[in-house]
Amino acid sequence: MQGSGQEKKNSLVKSFGYAFDGIRTGIRKERNMKIHCVAVIAVTAAGTFLGLTATEWCICLLLFGLIISLELVNTAVEAVVDLVTEEKKPLAKIAKDTAAGAVLFSAVMSVIIGCIIFLPHLAELFSRLF
C-alpha cells in the first residue's frame, strides 16, 4: 500500500522548505549572491521609476531568475567539489571554474540586455529634462 496523501503533502512541504533553506543559505553565505540581490533591487527600483513595459519586466524577471539560479547551482557545485576533495585537482578546478564562468557569462549578457532595455528609457527621461 502506498503512502497517504498526507505523507505526500508533508513531503512536498519539506521539499519546499529545503529549497527555501538553500536560497537563504546562498544569500547569507555567498558574497556574489548578495551582489546579485542588490542588483535585482536596483533594477526593480529603476524599472519602476522609468515605467518598463510588461514585456521588459518579463525579460528582467527571466534574467533575475537565470542569474540567481545559476549562482545557486555554482554554490552547489563548489560545495560538492569541496566535499569530495580538499586537494588541488585539475577536474575539481574545471568544475568550479566552469560553473563560475556560467554565472559570469550570463551576468554579462544580462547587463547588455539591461542596457538595451534601459538606455532608451533613460534617453527619453533626459530629453524631457533638458
What is the set of active-site residues?
71
CA dihedral 115, 116, 121, 125 (to 10 degrees): 50
How far apart CA 61 and CA 58 sit, in angstroms, is 5
Determine the residue type at 25. T
Instruction: Count other C-beta atoms under 10 Å from residue 111's C-beta.
Output: 12
Contact residues for 43 (Cβ-Cβ < 8 A; gap 6+): 60, 64, 114
